[in-house]
Structure formats: C-alpha cells, structure tokens
Amino acid sequence: MTARRLLVPLAASLMLLAACGTAPQPVVVASPSPSAVISPSPPAPSASPSPTPTVRPSRSPSASPSRKPAERWVPKPGITWQWQLTTPVDLSVDAEVYDIDGFLNDADVVAELHRRGRKAICYVEVGAAENFRPDYPDWPRELLGGSNGWPGERWLDIRDPAKLKPVLAKRFAMCAKKGFDAVEPDLMDAYESETGFPITAAHQLRFNRFVARLAHEHGLSVALKNDVDQAAELVGDFDFTVNEECAAFDECASLKPFLEAGKAVLHAEYDLAPAEYCAESRRLNLSSLHKSRDLDAAATPCP
C-alpha cells in the first residue's frame, strides 16, 4: 500500500499483533453469540517467518462462467457494509455487504452470509506477493520488487499483466468457487509508491483494467481499490470502489464519478472521528465506516 495508507493486509496485521501480544482498542465491538460465528477450518503449518500459522491452501478451483454486465451485482450508493479481515468473522454485524479475506474463509462462511441475505466480497492482493499465502511460490521471481512496508510482502511488477495472470486467475477462481459475489483486489495504485520498478500511471491503468476484466471473466463483480486519481478513467471498468481515508486526504469528491454512475463507494476512515467526516459522507451518499487498522470486527458506521 502507499506510505500514507498502510493498508491492513490481514496476515501482516496478524503477525504484528502476535509479535506485540496486544490488540488495538476497538471503536465499537460487536459481541457475537457463539452461534453467530463460523470459524474456518484449522490452518496448516507455514514456512512463514512468523510463528503464526498461515492459511490452509485451497483446492485448485475451476473458473466460473463470465456473467453478462446486466447480471453482475452492482452495489448502490449508500449500501451498508462490514469490513473484517480477521477471523472468525462476526456474522452478527448488521450490514448488507461483508468484505472478508478470501483465503481465510471457506465456502461455508460465504454460504451462511448468503443465507442471512448478505453479499460477500473476497479480499485478495493483486499488487504484492505475500510469502504467507499458499500460492507464493507461483509468482515469477523476476516480478518480485521491494517491500511494501508489511512483513513478508513485496511489490509486484505489474507492467506486463500477462505474466501475473496465472496466479491472479487462480485467486479469482478460488473466490468464485467459494461463492463470493465480488472481489476486492488490493494494492492497485503501485505507481504512487517506490516499488523497485518504473511503474507509470499508464501501466497502472492498463493493469487495473486487466484485473477488472479478469474478475468479470470469473463471474465476479470487482472493486477499484483506492487509486482515487484514476477513478474517473476507471469508473466504466469497475462495479464499485473501496476507499481508505478519502476524508483524511480531502479526496472524497474525486469519487463522484462512481456515485453518479450509481455505484457504491465503500469507505473507511481510521484516524478521523466520525463527527469529522460523516456529514460529508451523508451528503455524498458514501458507505462510511470508522475502523481500526487491524480491520477486526469493530466498526462504527456513520449514523
């Protein structure tokens, strides 16, 4: 992630929390009953440098047939959402959409969300390689760049999307096989960071459009993750956007192209208090949450 938005890749957060032995104080903690939580299957031991075990590899899924644009789910502005990248997922949160880790959650979690009338978004990284994921050995070595600031993660060279397609296609196929409705592909603004590669804005546009097409080929709706400066150019390619801290960086108005197209802006703030941004969120019809940076179950939506 960019230096100003050190996002919260799940496993990196888990490793940091494990090292510290403490957890951040949540804003609002939902208290699920035991029956409201579905735990994923126990993970297998990992070769990750962290003692925290990694996720259990999924079976190799086959791609789902592409849905026509009219058949794809397009979340509308103002929809309610929950963003939790820790497990087990708290299924008691009152939200229409859940954005959860695609590797750590199995099909039974997605099925339970659907049973409760929720939509499910599959979080995966597309712009960095994570050495704690089961498919890490599949990334071509020559495409691995510098650290993105999180333990075990390295930027990817996105200039030739075809070289990344085999791994990304398997990730999206995994999301589709588990029954997810959409994908949140993270780290889609590498051109704004020091990656170790001369990535330009033009490279990023081409890669992001490639990601959108690939998700659609697997029958998944797809979010533009951050990349606010290119939002107007990409609104036609993506079904909604997931944004971090547009209020903190005075960028929320730049996401109007999505809102005007009838596409949701799923928005999270970390450091600002809700009173500092909720009025604008309501005016623009953003789907805004206050979250802690570890993205656990605690969340405060704008009233």
pLDDT in tens, 97-125: 999 999 999 999 999 999 999 999 999 99
User: What integer pLDDT is reported at residue 248 of this predicted model?
Assistant: 98
**Does the pTM exceed 0.75?**
yes
252: DSSP letter? G
Does residue 182 sit in helix, strand or coil?
Answer: strand
Task: Tell which wins on pLDDT, 35 or 180.
Answer: 180
Mean pLDDT (whole number) for 10-20: 38
Task: Provide CB contacts within 8 A for 99, sequence distance 6+.
Answer: 81, 82, 83, 84, 121, 123, 184, 242, 266
Please count the other Cβ atoms lying within 10 Å of the Cβ belonging to residue 269. Answer: 23
Confidence grade of residue 176 (pLDDT, cut at 50, 70, 90): very high
Mean pLDDT (whole number) for 246-275: 98
Confidence grade of residue 70 (pLDDT, cut at 50, 70, 90): low
Percent of the chain with pLDDT over 90: 77
Task: Tell which wins on pLDDT, 15 or 6.
Answer: 6
pLDDT per position as a tens digit, 131-169: 999 999 999 999 999 999 999 999 999 999 999 999 999
Asked if the model's pLDDT at residue 37 lies above 70, the reply is no
Distance from C-alpha of 73 to C-alpha of 30, rounded to nearest angstrom: 27
Asked if the model's pLDDT at residue 288 lies above 60, the reply is yes
Phi, psi dihedral angles at 98 (to 5 degrees): -115, 130
Q: Give, for 282, the enclosing helix (H) or strand (E).
A: helix 278-284
Mean pLDDT (whole number) for 238-267: 98
User: What integer pLDDT is reported at residue 240 of this predicted model?
Assistant: 99
Asked if the model's pLDDT at residue 36 lies above 80, the reply is no
Of the CATH numbers 3.10.20.740, 3.20.20.70, 1.10.10.10, 3.20.20.60, which one belongs to the domain with range 11-18+69-301? 3.20.20.70
Mean pLDDT (whole number) for 123-131: 98
The Cβ-side half-sphere exposure at 59, using a 13 Å CA radius, reads: 6
- AA letter at 66: S
In terms of DSSP bridges, do strands 128-130 and 119-125 run parallel, antiparallel, or are they unpaired?
A: unpaired
CB 90 within 8 A of CB 30: yes
In terms of DSSP bridges, do strands 89-90 and 37-38 run parallel, antiparallel, or are they unpaired?
A: antiparallel
Confidence grade of residue 6 (pLDDT, cut at 50, 70, 90): low
Distance from C-alpha of 16 to C-alpha of 132, rounded to nearest angstrom: 13
Confidence grade of residue 22 (pLDDT, cut at 50, 70, 90): very low
Does residue 13 sit in helix, strand or coil?
Answer: helix
Mean pLDDT (whole number) for 37-55: 37
Task: Tell which wins on pLDDT, 22 or 76.
Answer: 76
